[in-house]
């Protein structure tokens, strides 16, 4: 309502099968923005602290979000994410692990590579282009799935898979950023 949203590449989202949707993260509104214009529901991994806030602790689970404890390996969150992907759901993740204060794409955390290698799901990069400015355009771009086949066959590390995913997000930002 407050932004003019332009969607590019919606056809790159598979209609069925597990999908790991990986986006840059620049604003608190990113999760609803990334998922709002898709036919399929997106289940988001969200920082555990949000589930402790009075309003959000009952709302987030109803929206399909599940908690992850940041700063280490959260085995329960990893099991939940893999289970959802195995059940052919779409899981949204922000590989940087936090919002970018500068708007620049940060380094991806290896958890996204772990999901990509272990799940056999499609891995779809997504880029939120432009800044959130009231009544201005913001663009959401969904790219073609990242080819994980070779990485899986060669038993690549989670770091290598994460790098390939981040390269996919960066390519979308480079191609669609009006400042470029």
Is residue 129 in some structural domain?
A: yes
> Which domain does 109 fall in, by range?
4-40+88-176
Structure-block tokens of residue 84:
């959802």
Structure-block tokens of residue 178:
């009006």
Is residue 45 in some structural domain?
A: no
Q: Which of 26, 19, 17, 8 is nearest to 42 (CA)?
A: 19
Is residue 79 in some structural domain?
A: no
Domain count, the chain: 1
Output the tens digit of pLDDT for each of the chain's 180 residues: 678 899 999 999 999 999 999 999 999 889 999 999 999 999 999 889 999 998 898 899 888 899 988 777 788 999 999 999 999 999 999 999 888 888 889 999 999 999 999 998 999 999 999 888 888 889 999 999 999 999 999 999 999 999 999 999 999 999 998 654
Rg of the chain, C-alpha, whole Å = 15
Q: Which of 81, 119, 88, 92 is nearest to 16 (CA)?
A: 88
First vs last C-alpha separation in the chain: 27
Is residue 57 in some structural domain?
A: no
Tell me, rounded to whole angstroms, the distance of Cα 132 from its chain centroid.
Answer: 18
Pairing of strands 137-142, 122-129: antiparallel
Structure-block tokens of residue 26:
């620049």
């Amino acid at each position: 309502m407050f932004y003019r949203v332009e969607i590019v590449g919606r056809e790159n989202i598979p209609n069925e099968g597990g999908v790991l949707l990986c986006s840059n993260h620049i604003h608190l509104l990113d999760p609803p923005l990334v998922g709002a214009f898709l036919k399929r529901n997106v289940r988001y991994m969200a920082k555990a602290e949000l589930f402790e806030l009075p309003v959000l602790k009952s709302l987030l689970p109803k929206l399909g979000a599940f908690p992850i404890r940041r700063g280490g390996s959260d085995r329960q969150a990893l099991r939940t994410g893999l289970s959802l992907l195995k059940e052919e759901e779409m899981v949204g993740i922000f590989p940087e692990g936090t919002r970018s204060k500068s708007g620049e794409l940060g380094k991806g955390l290896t958890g996204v590579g772990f999901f990509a290698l272990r799940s056999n799901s499609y891995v779809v990069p997504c880029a939120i282009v432009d800044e959130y400015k009231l009544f201005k355009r913001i663009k959401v771009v969904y790219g073609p799935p990242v080819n994980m086949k070779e990485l899986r066959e060669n038993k690549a590390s989670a770091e290598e898979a994460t790098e390939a995913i981040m390269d996919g997000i960066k390519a979308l930002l480079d191609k669609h950023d009006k400042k470029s």
